[in-house]
Amino acid sequence: MSLEQGCVNAPVVAWRTALRPIGLGLVLLALMTGGIAIVDHHVKQRRIDRAEVLSWFCVHQGTRCGGPVPERIEKRWNERQIAYESAVVLLTLAGGGCLIFAVASERRSPNFV
């Protein structure tokens, strides 16, 4: 039987069946990356708060100097934030694309296993 008659060869079927779990995995990975970014943001804010207190003591009392600089902490966070956001977008697009293609493939060929 040819492809026009509804016969799909085994490698194509195996590839198509793998798309749904791959897509779900990528979307879950995007959600996990977003969760990690949220936790990282909270940790960053706590570090900035502590650094600002130390900075105040250094400026006003001349003690506790040499600690972390809040601006540097924020700058590093901004760099990580771009990476987090890019990863979430790319993983979501890739996972969503796999899921859409898997569903479209199932609808096109009713004999899809």
* Cα of 104 vs its chain's centroid, Å: 25
Read off the pTM.
Answer: 0.77
Q: What percent of the chain has pLDDT over 70?
A: 83
Whose CA is closest to 22, among 84, 100, 83?
Answer: 100
The amino acid present at 81, given as its one-letter code, is Q
DSSP letter for 4, please: G
Phi and psi at residue 36, to the nearest 5°: -65, -40
Higher-confidence residue: 109 or 27?
Answer: 27
User: In the structure encoding, which two tokens stand for residue 56, read together?
Assistant: 């105040």
For the ranges 22-26, 61-65, 85-89, the lowest mean pLDDT is seen at 61-65
Torsion sign over Cα 18, 24, 28, 34: positive
Average pLDDT for 66-79: 95
Q: State pLDDT tens for residues 25-57.
A: 999 999 999 999 999 999 999 999 999 999 999
Q: Where are the beta strands (DSSP E) in the chain?
A: none
The residue that leads in pLDDT, 86 or 18, is 86
Using alpha carbons only, what angle is made at residue 96 by residues 42 and 113, rounded to the nearest 5 degrees?
A: 135
Instruction: Please classify residue 49 by burial: count the beta carbons closer than 10 Å to its beta carbon, then call 0-12 exposed, 13-18 middle and 19+ buried.
Output: exposed
